[in-house]
């Protein structure tokens, strides 16, 4: 379990994260206000879609603006690379690391997403810096083409853990029901192996729907919903997902079943 301000991740109902993917600042502020009004657990700012993404000072300044509008909602900042499903913009790795480091040092966020398949030495430096500045790290890996085998999925998650990420996240694309079951089995195994570790696992698309609603059973502690458009295939509208998660939780807690 992981405590961030007034939110405990990894206990009870999976926490809901809503992405903000607009390019325009005015629209992003509107989205942040709506997210805050609905008391969403986490808002993810997808910086790769931001119109001023190459201006680090502007990014840091606008992160401060978003944080003020989000009130008690946690802010997660994510610069998703094109190879892992982000906006396919041309940039070098220096921008990726410099921007994330500037955001961390600004403290205008609660969590930051760092991708597993970046330079390991620079990642370790960023993670250490994040922990010094009180920013929690989600280390992520996304495969939009397939679901790797169980051993490979476990290897990637355990690598994230060894790098001392606070939350381990993996999202994969299923080709059939067996792929979905593979992801759920790996999730359950990780929960058994490291029960105190915050974990996020997602099987994308229609075939992966079950993975987005069954986290309380298998061990995935954050799930993603949509309000103004999907940031990944298969995301469920926020209000619908909230109702389903509540229903599952109530039935799991009931003595009548």
Residues belonging to the binding site are 44-46, 80, 212, 231, 235
Indicate the burial class of 172 (C-beta count within 10 angstroms; 0-12, 13-18, 19 or more). Answer: buried
Angle at 118 between CA 116 and CA 121, to 5 degrees: 100
Query: What is the separation of C-alpha 145 from the centre of its chain, rounded to a whole number of angstroms?
Result: 19
Asked about 5 being catalytic, the answer comes back as no
- Binding-site positions for 3-dehydroquinate read 44-46, 80, 212, 231, 235
Catalytic choice (15, 101, 169, 191): 169
Instruction: Look up 49 and say whether it is catalytic.
Output: no
Closest CA to 229 of 7, 14, 19: 19
Which of 5, 13, 10, 34 has the alpha carbon at shortest distance from 22? 34
**Catalytic residue, candidates 142, 150, 191, 228:** 142
Which structure tokens are listed for 80? 């998703």
Q: Which residue has the tokens 């059973």?
A: 217
- Kindly list the catalytic residues: 142, 169
């Amino acid at each position: 379990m992981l405590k961030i301000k007034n939110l405990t991740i990894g206990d009870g109902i999976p926490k809901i994260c809503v992405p903000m993917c607009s390019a325009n600042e005015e629209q992003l502020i509107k989205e942040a206000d709506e997210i805050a009004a609905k008391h969403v657990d986490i808002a993810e700012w997808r910086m790769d879609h931001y119109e001023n993404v190459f201006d680090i000072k502007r990014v840091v300044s606008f992160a401060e603006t978003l944080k003020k509008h989000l009130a008690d909602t946690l802010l997660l900042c994510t610069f998703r690379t094109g190879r892992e499903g982000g906006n396919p913009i041309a940039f070098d790795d220096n921008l990726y690391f410099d921007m994330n480091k500037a955001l961390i040092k600004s403290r205008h966020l609660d969590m930051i997403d760092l991708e597993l398949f970046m330079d390991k030495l620079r990642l370790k430096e960023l993670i250490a810096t994040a922990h010094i500045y009180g920013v929690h790290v989600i280390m992520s890996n996304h495969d939009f083409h397939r679901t790797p085998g169980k051993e490979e999925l476990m290897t990637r998650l355990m690598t994230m853990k060894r790098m001392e990420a606070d939350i381990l996240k993996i999202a994969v694309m299923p080709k059939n029901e067996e792929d979905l079951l593979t992801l759920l089995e790996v999730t359950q195994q990780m929960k058994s192996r490291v029960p105190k570790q915050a974990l996020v696992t997602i099987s994308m698309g229609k075939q992966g729907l079950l993975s987005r609603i069954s986290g309380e059973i298998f061990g995935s502690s954050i799930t993603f919903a949509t309000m103004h458009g999907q940031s990944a295939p298969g995301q469920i509208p926020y209000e619908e997902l909230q109702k389903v998660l509540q229903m599952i939780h109530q039935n799991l807690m009931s003595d009548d079943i």
